[in-house]
Structure 1
């Protein structure tokens, strides 16, 4: 029985007929949207006998494969015993600039519909019409051509022939993939304690189409314990694709290592890593226009060959591999990684590609989601990240600058920008003595003003004037559009606040509880697996990440002997009011611990400034111990140098100073004697401020402990993550010292891992 390739008409023609260059300039006339409103306006002009949103499909055999192609044509028009297939496209650009030959892909889409309709109804000829409609002016422009059945059939076969190399490659790959997955064994000689339990829970969750919240200790091997059962589930037909989602580069590398390990055991699977555009761009400035970037010029003319080449020859498609093939085929590495991702079996990327409504991968259709597993690593990070994704900011100064820049260029743009500027200025006057204003809704008329500004900005931007003012307008336009998009989600889980400093006014739609929106954005994916070493307290994370009553949960105990780690509590106050008084004892304690214990130490502080204060005091104490200090805004190379400084069995011990919740406090793997001790200064409470207090008040108002939700739980998560840097395997040994008298309180004791609780206090040098 021939293999079947199921594909929509739109996906097929976009693959075969897309051409030209990437162009980040504003071009509404070229990024035509099949906007619902514009379509409906045209469809309302149809006669009663006409059809709209008409479904068509066909099964077409070709070279041993059967192509199952379907879609919905916008309209079928019946007149004078003839049938016209109508394809509607909308634009806010200049209709006069569109000719019959401007968009071959639109003709291709309509001709596919016409062919399928002609076959179903045994027609010898069909008329095809492209209808372009202006979204604002409601003006229309038509192009119409008649095609014989044999012409449409020839066109259809040419289209399939062009798609065939890619399709046949994917069929062959999936046969090899599924066979290799069924034969794949766990890539280690044995499971660690707890690994089999976690892997089994992941497999069952995928099979049952549920969600899972798993708390598993650092060092257990969570990455292989989640990816391996997900791969096996694909091999058994329970899924087709894996997204491994994470917040940090270092954990993406761990996922790459897991897939590499399985590939070395015979797994045939394509795994691609998506790297942020600004990091992977080959040019000095990220200007995605053909005049500035050879990798953008003609991108769509070369991309199909590049995708086939990399998929045919590579399995682990990491950043370096993407860059190598991107240079070989002269294609943009970022866009290339996205195009490869749509074909890959596993995608390693940031959370935002799934959950952020402004960024997410739009070409994954609902049917694909149903066959996709989301593995969400370090899931504790998703709470605050989701708040950012579902929040939106608006600043006054860009609109004032646009008003000034366009006052003599485009009065409508200038006046629309001034209206937004004036609205924000009026809100500033309503602020209280603390320069803030808190609202339960979006300020009245602001959304209408932003819509008006966006409309006038669009018309100006399609003119593509060069210069700084156009970039200002483009930035302002995207800011307004982002704000309007988030405003659609606004509800009881939001607050609006205004704050100002000097002449700048900042308005924010602040998402306080992202759970419902995370649930909405993750809807229809087959399975979501949330896992972390610090998913504690579990009820808090289930609440904040949108768990349903049907979701499973799992807590895996530490597999490591309690004797592997010595934990002490040093009750020095780290409260802001006491820091000057405890500064000298704090520095002496660090020095004393490092002096009297072998190996390297990492000391984590609740803020950068506090770290520097204690570090300077440490130097004054005169300890002859080498140190290394985390700096603000470290490059990737500087981060790697920082970690590389921690060497096992070095002649001199090393004390590293770092920030809680920062780049070195989670996802860092200093195995064996590279790290022998961790000192955590403080209980990790986020800095007191406007946003945290708004969160606290909100959760108090819905019957939760607002202080715990806003401060205690996020803070203690940082503590647990920092302490988790120490014990990474069965052979690791070391010391963890928790410095703050609050660690002795029952509330904080209850949030510590069992093996950390009820430890002694006092002079730390006497505890070991």
Structure 2
């Protein structure tokens, strides 16, 4: 198939800026050529719309091009056949043979074209069906609402004789009765779009609704069972893993006719009342018009059918699939959702923290408390049902118990320990996976098979259900008392065992640990699954403590590319997009190159800001009003002179900056230090007379209320105040994903540089790993022969400073996210003040659009004059 060229003009809801046109053109060619793209477009430049109009335009063109290409090829073969029929020759055998080959080739092409035409007809019917048929279903479905059904009461009588049947492990078999038949269906090209949060995905869907392509594209929003489930009896389990297992149990059916008959005879109801329901009606609604997760859930409730499975079943006919990070980046989740990236496009938005997200997603931590809960719950479960386990399941259960006991022994306890038991505190230490498995004495266990057993047998769900029925009493160890007396003695002589009374020792946990009991085994299994990684890709850290319950183990992934290889290999094209993607070299080296990608596939695009240079005032201030050097390193954190300078600077800025001023500090601890000093020195009281003071809340639940109060205070200042001041933390709850546009963020002040703790063992190991393993490449031309022809060779070389560069980038990426909170649209304006002389050497790491306005100065009076003029000019231009 011939390659397509980008269109001269892209459909856009309003006249596009030049940078948006450039973005869409580059994106179009990235998808067409099957490249790996890194796209940076500052917030406020219409990044989402540029992605939509560039990517969807390519998708529609690609599908049309594919169809037209088949039509042209079939027509060419028809012409060839006619020419052969008209050709007069005596070699009829060769002609017949050639014609047969051409007809076979034509038939293959015709089959592909027929599938496309059949699919178009199917989609056309869906469009026609959505208005008429869906309304009928709504009226019918409102007659009966299963959400009022009490599943427990309905099934209670039926389950009396089979009370424990659903607690027994699934028998595993190598043979499968499931059919692997594939139906001939057209597989259209798909764009998988993912972002970090549900809010960001909803915003993208909203933008797509407003785009010129809203009626031309089929969008499917995928979400977890937690988000989509409308069965109250399942959703009340709260934990996502338990909801998943319960859902699978309810909708699971036996595969053989014999089993089906047995199931009917047993009269045990295990199916969910919302499955299947009217899946086709909901699927029609999803594919017929663009809807977000809330829309799909609402319609599912009205249709009394499952939103989760309807959305999954809609994927094969969808064109743009919306889903969160973990659904695409976690391989097992991706496979369970039936997502096939082969030949399709993946766009990851808000990708600036992608490397960190992959590392967190594939890391795990457990405590001794988790292990003790798991051991004792598993022991109770095994004692209750051991006689009903198959030999293979019993063997696997014993292997899992062995593994858990070895891990608790490694931490310094035993299976009979209590979480509060004191242990000899060990020093923290890190292990390679090989070293850890040997030291913990679990190297004889095949963890791959053990994890498969846990998943396939549904052990975590079965165990949790048993613990719920048993009252969830955790017996840390059983105190067994034997009955004594004449009767008991006679029973002994007759060979009868004495009755044993188990006295459970109920552990009093705090609220947090009590809530986590139900997921203890899941946490342990997640940790064991991490041990399946390549030995060089991660490390296990021993987290010592004074009690066995607090001691822990943590697996840290060091090589995120190990879990990105399949994506790079399978996907037609991968696009990483964000407002601030610098340093781009990290994505090239640590993700694409380390995943084995051809460097020629990597394409980068960076654009400036739509905001005029005159609307941004950026200053690096190296000295305070009294001439004290501003260097907020660890040694100077408690320096009274510097803290006094901070008070003077903020006091002067509050006089000049209108509206909202957001002050970012390196850590929560330093925010407290600064606040306490300002309060003790009386500066805070003076500041509060100019601007109302707010502080970033400690609890996430309080963030929304703080922002509401801050917004009200900025928009309606009480005289003599001219706005509000918000103390926040770099990398905290307010530094990412929130907008301080217009008056909410007229002045952004960043105090110090947020370098992470270099003494952290995890960080040190990451730096060491990068220094030892990071390889860069370059291209060089060389002469190949005497005719002066030249060839390009690729040279790989070690990057010994990769770890140090990574450490620097951690700091600057966090700073750039804070800066990006202010400028949100073309008419916005703000002043950015960086207080630390170390920024003089980091200007190249700041966003490009900020560098164009950056001034480095040690003169505080000049800074105040420039800022006063800046805001006066903005006020004057806005009043015109």
Residue in structure 2 matching 1:724, options 815, 820, 837: 820
CA distance in 2, matches of 1:364, 1:407: 35
Which residue is equivalent to 2:216?
A: 268
Partner of 1:634: 700
How far residue 244 of structure 1 moved from its aligned partner, in angstroms, is 1.9
Structure 1 partner of 2:185:
none
* Residues 729 and 434 of structure 1: CA distance in aligned 2, closer, same or farther (over 3 Å): same
Structure 1 segment 330-345 matched on structure 2, within 5 A: 330-331=304-305, 333=307, 337-341=311-315, 343-345=317-319
Higher helix share: 2
Give the whole-Å Cα distance in 2 for the aligned partners of 1:659 and 1:606: 6
Residue 556 (structure 1) aligned with residue 607 (structure 2): yes
2:45 aligned to which of 220, 224, 227? 220
Which of 669, 690, 697 is equivalent to 2:761?
A: 690
The 3 A distance-change label for structure 1 pair 401 and 474 is closer
Q: Is the 8 A contact 2:433 2:538 kept in 1?
A: yes
The question of whether the paired residues in 1 share the 8 Å contact of 2:619 and 2:834 is answered with yes
Of 205, 208, 229 in structure 2, the residue corresponding to residue 259 of structure 1 is 208
1:660 maps to 2:725: no
CA deviations 1:376-432 (Å, max 9, x no partner) are 112121010011223333433222223334545525758843642333433669999
Q: Runs of 5+ in structure 1 lacking a partner?
A: 1-180
SS in 1 for 2:856: coil
Structure 1 window deviating more from structure 2 (554-563 vs 284-293): it is 284-293
- 1:396–1:421 contact (8 Å) kept in structure 2: no
Report the secondary structure of 2:39's partner residue.
strand
Mapping of 1:437-456 within 5 angstroms?
A: 437-439=430-432, 441=434, 442-444=436-438, 445-446=441-442, 448-449=444-445, 451=447
Shift of 1:747: 4.5
- Are the counterparts in 2 of residues 568 and 767 from structure 1 also a CA contact under 8 Å? no
- 1:356 deviates by 1.2
Q: Which residue of 1 aligns with 2:494?
A: none
Q: Would you say the 8 A contact 1:604–1:658 is kept in 2?
A: yes
- Distance of aligned partners of 1:494 and 1:675 in 2 relative to their CA distance in 1, 3 Å threshold: same
Pair 1:713–1:559, CA change in 2 (3 A): same
* 2:352–2:578 contact (8 Å) kept in structure 1: yes
SS in 2 for 1:698: helix
Flag the structure with larger Rg: 2
The alpha carbon displacement at 1:203 in A equals 0.3
User: Which moved further from structure 2: 620-629 or 433-442?
Assistant: 433-442
1:421 correspondence with 2:408: no
2:632 alignment counterpart? 574
Q: Which residue matches 1:310?
A: 285
Pairing partner for 1:761 from 839, 849, 858: 858
Matching residue of 2:539: 495
Q: 1:594 aligns with which of 654, 665, 674?
A: 654
Superposition pairs for residues 231-246 of structure 1, below 5 Å?
231-237=56-62, 240-246=189-195
Return the alpha-carbon distance in structure 2 between the equivalents of residues 183 and 752 of structure 1.
30
User: Any conservation in 1 of the 2:223–2:293 contact (CA below 8 Å)?
Assistant: yes
- Where in structure 2 are the equivalents of 1:346-745 lying within 5 Å? 346-364=320-338, 366=340, 369-407=341-379, 410=382, 416-417=400-401, 419-426=403-410, 434-439=427-432, 441=434, 442-444=436-438, 445-446=441-442, 448-449=444-445, 451=447, 458=457, 465=466, 466-467=469-470, 468=472, 475-502=519-546, 503=548, 504-547=550-593, 548=597, 549=599, 550-571=601-622, 572-581=630-639, 582-619=642-679, 620-621=682-683, 622=685, 623=687, 624=689, 625-635=691-701, 637-638=704-705, 641=708, 644-645=711-712, 652-688=722-758, 689-702=760-773, 703-744=799-840
**Cα pair distance change 1:300/1:292, threshold 3 Å:** closer
* 1:653 CA drift (Å): 1.0
Aligned equivalents of 1:228 and 1:363: distance in 2? 27
Deviation at 1:556, TM superposition (A): 1.7
SS of the residue aligned with 2:37?
A: strand
Aligned residue-pair number: 583
Contact 1:677–1:736, Cα closer than 8 Å, also in 2: yes
User: Separation in 2 of the partners of 1:428 and 1:556?
Assistant: 56
CA gap 1:292/1:493 in 2 versus in 1, 3 angstroms: closer
The alpha carbon displacement at 1:608 in A equals: 2.3
Q: Is the 8 A contact 2:13 2:211 kept in 1?
A: no
Report the secondary structure of 2:700's partner residue: coil
Cα shift readout 1:101-150 (whole Å, capped 9, x = no counterpart): xxxxxxxxxxxxxxxxxxxxxxxxxxxxxxxxxxxxxxxxxxxxxxxxxx
* Mapping 1:70-109, distance limit 5 Å: none
Partner SS for 2:203: helix
Distance in 1 separating the partners of 2:650 and 2:608? 30
Question: Is 1:190 aligned to 2:15, yes or no?
Answer: yes
| C-alpha distance in structure 2 between counterparts of 1:201 and 1:376, whole Å | 16
Q: Deviations over 1:484-507 (max 9, x none)?
A: 443333232322222222323322
Q: Is the 8 A contact 1:743 1:749 kept in 2?
A: no
The answer for the alignment partner of 2:196 in structure 1 is 247
Structure 2, unmatched stretches of 5+, are: 1-5, 64-187, 252-268, 384-393, 414-422, 475-514, 623-629, 774-798, 868-880
Q: Which residue of 2 aligns with 1:327?
A: 301
How big is the shift at 1:739? 1.7
Distance change (3 Å), C-alpha of 1:663 and 1:716? same
After superposition, the C-alpha distances for 1:625-681 in whole angstroms (9 at most, x for unaligned) are 113322233238547636754755866412222222234323333433342111112
RMSD: 3.8
Tell whether the 8 Å contact from 1:425 to 1:505 is kept in structure 2 after alignment.
no
Q: CA deviation at 1:261?
A: 1.3
More divergent stretch after superposition (251-260 vs 382-391): 251-260
Assess, with a 3 A threshold, how the Cα gap between structure 1 residues 336 and 431 changes in structure 2: closer, same or farther: farther
Alpha-carbon distance change, 756 to 646 in structure 1, aligned in 2, over 3 angstroms: farther
Residue 788 (structure 2) aligns with:
none
Q: How has the CA–CA distance of structure 1 residues 336 and 637 changed in structure 2, closer, same or farther, with 3 Å as cutoff?
A: farther
- TM superposition score normalised by structure 2: 0.60
| Cα distance in 2, alignment partners of residues 701 and 575 from structure 1 | 28
- Contact conserved, 1:628 with 1:656, CA < 8 A, in 2? yes
In 1, the alpha carbon distance for the partners of 2:459 and 2:225 equals 27
SS at 1:759's partner residue? Answer: strand
Deviates more, 1:403-412 or 1:387-396: 403-412
Residue 478 of structure 2 is matched in structure 1 by none
- Larger relative CO (CA 8 A, sep 6+): 1 or 2? 2
**Distance in 2, Cα, partners of 1:295 & 1:602:** 55
SS at match of 2:211: helix
Give the match's secondary structure for 1:205.
helix
Q: Which residue of 2 aligns with 1:201?
A: 26
Shift of 1:600: 1.2
CA distance in 1, matches of 2:535, 2:698: 36
Q: Where is the strand percentage greater, Structure 1 or Structure 2? A: 1
State the TM-score, normalized to the length of structure 1: 0.68
3-state SS, counterpart of residue 333 of structure 2: coil
Tell me how far apart the structure 2 counterparts of residues 459 and 251 of structure 1 sit (CA, whole Å): 33
1:57-78 residue CA offsets vs partner (Å, 9 max, x unmatched): xxxxxxxxxxxxxxxxxxxxxx
Distance 1:281 1:184 in 2: 43
